[in-house]
Amino acid sequence: MLRKISTLLLLLLVVAVVKAQERTLAERLGYPADAKLLIVHADDLGMSHSVNAATLKAFETKLVNSGSIMVPCPWLSEIATYARANPQADLGLHLTLTSEWTHFRWGPVTPKDRVASLLDKDGYFRLSEAEAAKNADPKEVEMEIRAQIEKAKAMGIVPTHLDSHMGTLYQNKELFDVFLRVAREYKLPVRVAREWGPRAEVLQASLSANDVFIDRVLDINPSVAPQDWAKFYSDAIRNLKPGVTEVVIHLAYDDGEMQGATFDHPNWGAAWRQRDFDFFTSDGFRKLLEENKIKLITWRELGKLIAK
Amino acid sequence: MLRKISTLLLLLLVVAVVKAQERTLAERLGYPADAKLLIVHADDLGMSHSVNAATLKAFETKLVNSGSIMVPCPWLSEIATYARANPQADLGLHLTLTSEWTHFRWGPVTPKDRVASLLDKDGYFRLSEAEAAKNADPKEVEMEIRAQIEKAKAMGIVPTHLDSHMGTLYQNKELFDVFLRVAREYKLPVRVAREWGPRAEVLQASLSANDVFIDRVLDINPSVAPQDWAKFYSDAIRNLKPGVTEVVIHLAYDDGEMQGATFDHPNWGAAWRQRDFDFFTSDGFRKLLEENKIKLITWRELGKLIAK
């Protein structure tokens, strides 16, 4: 009798799991299948004071509702103080293996001699994601990203999600597999999108039905002229498809510090980040969300879908 | 005959060396004994963009004519670029064993696990010079300051002198002895002053007649109210004694980056550094130098007194 009940329960569980997989992500989160759900996500917290100050200001508007932190960067302590004081904030880790500004550099959390494949001749992370991925020993990558997660936790940050600065961990299957293995172990959702174009083929083979992945990522790129910034984002929001979209933005002020860091690198530079700040903290953006019936959600909700 | 000439030459050499030691530092540098010689020295280069930008601007006035660089700090590359382009600049190394701002931190050049005595629980240098000196293993200090010098050289900086950020290397005899040993090996002059009050007794026992030391260091302190800043410096310059004085200043702009770094630490903070910048780049300071017949010299000249 007991055996029969167990078998029945098991059967019901299997049916439930299969059903769960059939439902859309929006439904699994408790929303209608056609709901338009958006995470407004600021990258690069901890990088500089300007990034921190602008992003924390944007969080106050509640229009920007998520962000991720670069543990190796010099201004980590400032954002760790915020995280400890605001445990409800949706803060993830922006796992970092590059140091992209010519005059403003950082290196690993792990002792340098153990992660030599990640470093340039001056002992910093490499300038580009392509160079970083080409040279990185996956074992050293795993050691370093684990060290970043552990350091964040030791400083009182309880991350809700993981992503990868400049996408280094999406550059090839070996690095992506390391990223997924560590994320699964910590039971944290990662920035992976169902609609990811060319990269999807390489990366999706590594994913399993138990991984939580959002529907799409929206980000601006250097082909958009500064005067078209608001139009690009406004059009994208008006045309937002149902499901979970993450808009990935980069906030900072166009001030001395950011101008110094990005002097030779206008893409994702000081003025770029000020434009993102201006748009995503504007009343215009608030109205667009209302008019298009877009609901803001966070990675914290997505993380609840992962069996703990 | 040859032997007699050798003996005579040796005797002459000994007499010359003894004579050299009797002469004042000003005379050894080729100036009259009563010359008033001044090094206007900006500390903390490489710490932040604001420090770099303000100090390089001050160098353009030629009223600030020397500075020292913090190798472990995130903006080192910016000042290394300047150093490579301006090989005549009088740039030393501000050997760094502390990381004093609550929200803006840095750590060692050496792999962290080899210099554990220098680190706080988050893996950064300690916040204060007293804590740093109390915990530091002198062997690890030696490894780290050698690593800082070698990294600076590898990045194209040819240092003219050495000093110690927040004076950590002057905190006790063990650390001072490490500092002197390394400086002698690199044949670089260090910030050591003949008139150094209470610390002199402890430290002077370590000095030899072959070390080059200046006559005095002048620096402002938190007891001077902001409105008395110019008066303090002006009085000090009017009363400057003959010999070699180094005025140690801290330049930066009172901007977002420095305000963020020093928000809980007004001493040596953003407004403090702006006041130093304003005074030492002013026409008033230029006039004071002229009226008081003060000649600016650099550590490069002092370094020439060290037998290579």
Query: What does the pLDDT read at residue B201?
Result: 73
Q: Label residue A13 by pLDDT band (50, 70, 90).
A: low
Q: What's the pLDDT tens digit per position in A155-212?
A: 999 999 999 999 999 999 999 999 999 999 999 999 999 887 667 777 888 888 888 8
Mean pLDDT for all residues in chain A: 93
Helices (H), A136-228: 138-154, 173-186, 197-204
B155 and A81: CB-CB below 8 Å?
Answer: no
- Test mutation, B55, B56, B75, B253, chain A, max A CBs within 10 A: B75
Q: Which residues of chain B have pLDDT under 70?
A: 1-21, 197-198
Q: What's the complex ipTM?
A: 0.91
pLDDT in tens, A288-308: 999 999 999 999 999 999 977
**Interface check B127 vs A, CB under 8 A:** no
Query: What integer pLDDT is reported at residue A226 of this predicted model?
Result: 97
A82 part of contact set with chain B, CB < 8 Å:
no
Q: What pLDDT does B214 receive? A: 94
pLDDT tens figures, A24-36: 999 999 999 999 9
Nearest CA in chain B to A104: B75
Using alpha carbons, select from A92, A70, A264, A217 the residue that is nearest to residue A162. Answer: A92
pTM, to two decimals: 0.92
CA–CA separation, B230 vs B222, rounded Å? 14
Query: Which pair of tokens denotes residue A249?
Result: 């933005």
The C-alpha atoms of residue B302 and residue B284 are separated, in whole angstroms, by 27
Token look-up 């990005």 returns A262
Residue B135 amino acid letter: N
Q: Is A123 left (phi over 0), alpha (psi -120 to 50) or beta?
A: left
Rounded to 5 degrees, what angle do the CA atoms B179, B71, B244 make? 55
CB-based contact (8 Å) between B265 and chain A?
no
State the pLDDT at residue B289: 98
Q: What pLDDT score does A196 carry?
A: 77
| Chain B: residue whose CA lies nearest to A50 | B257
pLDDT > 90? residue A223? yes
Number of CB atoms found within 10 A of residue A284's CB: 14
What CA–CA distance (Å, rounded) separates B123 from A225? 42
pLDDT of residue A208: 86
Average pLDDT of every residue of chain B: 93
Q: What pLDDT, in 10s, does the model give residues A55-69?
A: 999 999 999 999 999
Query: Is A264 part of the contact surface with chain B (CB cutoff 8 Å)?
Result: no
Residue B77 touches chain A, beta carbons under 8 Å: yes
Contact flag A260-B112 (C-beta cutoff 8 Å): no
Instruction: Report DSSP letters for A215-229, one per residue.
Output: SEEE---TTS-GGGH
- Side chain identity at residue B109, one-letter code: V
State yes or no: pLDDT of A16 exceeds 70: no
